[in-house]
Structure 1
Amino acid sequence: MGRVEALFTAPADGEPMRAHETVDVVDGGIRGDRYLLGTGHYAPFDVCEVTFVASEGLEFVRDEYDIDLSDGRHRRNVVTRDVDLRALLETTFRVGDAVFRGTRPRPPCAHVGRVAGEEGVARALKEGRGGICADVVDPGSVTVGDDVAVVEAAPRDVGRDIAARLRETRE
């Protein structure tokens, strides 16, 4: 389906994101990341255990808005390549040794722009480029270059497929 292009964590709100080759995913998030530690900007009220963003969206932001966020200023943990992140919502998916469940979109906010230190970041990340949130289902390690693969499709998608097949057999 796609792969991991970059990995980031930050120990606390407003701290620069740190790039990693490998991260340890544990129950509740990524070891050493601000939201697992309870030190994120929105903790404890609006926490994503792990955040994902598409590299293609970041490239669009760079090309269209002249804002390069490749250093982690996008404030997301996992940067993917060739992955339709919206398709991972409500699905169970594997990345490296870890398994996740896509929970909701992660739209950008003004805080991202303030921390990035650049005007227009939140606006540039809108329209689905802000990424998604995911919960940890099974802990494990994730490494740059690991594949992203669906383990279990979204229940609503499965239901629609079954209904479509039933309609076809009646016709």
Structure 2
Amino acid sequence: MGGVVEEIFVTGEGSAAMESVAEIETVKGCGIKGDRYCEGTGFWTQYGDVCQVTLIEGEHLDEIEARGIAIKSGQHRRNIVTRGVALLNLRGKRFRVGEVVLEYDRSRPPCKHVQDLSERGMTRALKNRGGICARVIEAGPIRPGDNIEEA
């Protein structure tokens, strides 16, 4: 597999801007300590559509940015930007991110809400590139530079 964590983003409230952070602490069965969905304040929480941890491929962000859409400062609304791993290939698998074990939950297609918070064309740009949701199986810290490998 051989991927790596490139960058990490969180926000404590639904619809608030995502912030780049140097480390997160995951919580088994909840997600990321202090992040909107673990805290129950995410936009989609009211609809029962909660992802514990979201991941998106950095290579996809490169492609989107090359089309002139600003996306690399967290506008994608995903927690972990990866490099060197095809996330959809993790379907049905558990994988290690640094000290943490995550389990593939489902793909995370883009929604109109992402575009409402960023710029026109964002939903279309993220189509088939929206990343995945994962569940926390074994908790711990995750930092940029952590390796991503099968558990």
TM-score (norm 1): 0.85
> 1:93-104 residue pairs with structure 2 within 5 A?
93-104=95-106
Partner of 1:164: none
Offset of residue 89 of structure 1: 1.6
2:5 paired with 1:14: no
Can you list the C-alpha shifts for 1:48-95, whole angstroms capped at 9, x where unaligned?
00000000011111112x112110010000000001100112110000
Corresponding letter in the other structure for 2:10: T
Q: Which has the larger radius of gyration?
A: 1
Task: Give the Cα separation in 2 of the matches to 1:43 and 1:36.
Answer: 10
State the Cα deviation string for residues 15-57 of structure 1 (Å, max 9, x = none). Answer: 1101111110112100110000011111041000000000001
Task: Give the partner amino acid of 1:15.
Answer: A
RMSD: 0.8
- The separation in 1 between residues aligned to 2:36 and 2:147, in whole angstroms, is 25
Question: Residue type matched to 2:62 in 1?
Answer: E
Note the residue ranges of structure 2 that are not aligned, 5 or more in a row: none
Correspondence for 1:63:
66
2:113 is aligned with 1:115: no
Flag as ranges the 4+ runs of structure 1 deviating above 4 A: none
The answer to whether the 8 A contact 1:5-1:80 is kept is yes
8 Å CA contact retained: 1:58, 1:68: no
The aligned counterpart of 1:137 is 137
TM-score, scaled to structure 2 = 0.96
Q: Look up the SS of the partner of 1:35 in the other structure.
A: helix
Give secondary structure in 2 for the equivalent of 1:42: helix
Give the superposition deviation at 1:126: 0.2
Aligned partner of 1:83 in structure 2 is: 85
Bigger relative contact order (CA 8 A; separation at least 6): 2
Q: Percent same amino acid among aligned pairs?
A: 42
**Quick one: which amino acid aligns to residue 133 of structure 2?**
C
Aligned length: 148
- SS where residue 120 of structure 2 aligns? coil
Q: Which whole-Å CA distance do the structure 1 matches of 2:117 and 2:42 have between them?
A: 12
